[in-house]
Amino acid sequence: MEVKTPNRFQKAFMLVLLLIVLIGFIGMIQEFLIAIVLAAIFAGLLYPLYNKMLYYLKNSAVLAASTILIISILAVGFPLAGLTGMVTNEAIQISQKATPIVKELLDNNFSISQHIPQWVPFQEKFKSLDKTILTKASEAASSMGSWLVSNLSNVTKGTVGFFMSLFIMLYAIFYFLINGSTLIKSLGSLIPLSQNDYEELMNRGLKVTSASLKGIIIIGVIQGLLVGLAFWATGIGGSAFWGSVVFLLSAVPGLGAPLVWLPAALYLMFTGDIEWGIALIVWGVLVIGLVDNFLRPWIVGNGAKLPDLVILVSILGGITLFGPVGIILGPVVAALLDTILNIYKKMFHPQLPEKE
């Protein structure tokens, strides 16, 4: 029986029909789309561990995937849930107390300029900025606290939608670990790219994503813990909250963490705790700084690392668009764009003009 080649009308009809059904399907699962995307990302990062577990458990895929999932929940999930509740409580306190504290300082005629040595340039300029600096610092702390409270409230309240998304994400991770390679092959048969380009899209995309996320998550957690520990030791309230802020800012090497610990050190010195302020500066430069200078290059590497500016804007854009999960999704989108641009450059190299 002769197989007829579809004509142009049939192809156009099928593409339109596919687009309509795809839009309808995505609209139907849009509440769980982020959970599924996160599951795919985490499954990709956990896949090397899954392969090792598969070897030790003699190719028992279900048992290996279950073991990896349980270990991940125990090692990350439970501590993260507890920390989320603690951060939310501290964020509420800081957002409520920041303005009254500044008002009390102003009522007591507190002045930053009084604590600045006469030899500091523009010392007189600080006198006219005392109230502005305190007010803006209060607004920044209050806004950051309110933002964290509003975005973490679903987790602490335990809403049905949150638990349903969590269940879908965990089940999807389990499914992707077992069937990931089959799904990737099936997806490859639908994408009009050469085998080499498709493999680069998968391999380099995962490599860049992995490097970016390690730089954000691992470095962010380490620096957040170090800053939180220092704030607890020096008696600054909201150590978990400020550690979380450092986690968000640590994507900027050499600049993110000092945006938190340096003003805190100056605050301690201005309010009379000079020894603790100096100790915090020493801790920030010698200990927290070591993470940026030595640990970050060792963990992240340089081969597939996105530029720091790209990571920063992708995190901020991701947070704006997706909320807290944008910390992960933003760099993933940037990594995907980086990979596609590399494939584009190779594919259209003959048509692109040569630049000297």
Helices (H), 158-305: 160-188, 195-213, 219-234, 239-249, 258-270, 274-283, 289-290, 296-300
Indicate if the pLDDT at residue 139 is higher than 50. Answer: yes
The tokens describing 196, both together, are 């080499």
Helix, strand, or coil here: 265? helix
* pLDDT tens, position by position, 6-64: 778 888 888 899 899 989 988 888 888 888 888 888 888 888 888 888 888 888 888 98
Given this model, what pLDDT does residue 191 score?
76
The tokens describing 286, both together, are 């010698």
Dist CA 218 CA 294 (whole Å) = 13
The tokens describing 250, both together, are 């640590």
Indicate if the pLDDT at residue 210 is higher than 50. Answer: yes
Residue 172 vs residues 38, 39, 69: alpha-carbon distances, Å: 9, 6, 11
As to burial, measured by CB atoms within 10 angstroms (0-12 exposed, 13-18 middle, 19+ buried), residue 256 is buried
Sketch the domain layout of the chain as residue ranges. 191-346
Structure confidence at residue 122 as a pLDDT band (50, 70, 90) = very low
Of 158-162, 240-244, 316-320, the poorest mean pLDDT is in 158-162
Contacts 24+ apart (CB under 8 A), 293-299: 293/254, 295/219, 295/222, 296/215, 296/219, 296/253, 299/214, 299/215, 299/218, 299/219
**Per-residue pLDDT averaged across 99-118, rounded?**
51
Dist CA 244 CA 61 (whole Å) = 36
End-to-end, the C-alpha distance of the chain in Å comes to 58
- pLDDT over 90 percentage in the chain: 3
Of 91-95, 121-125, 275-279, the poorest mean pLDDT is in 121-125
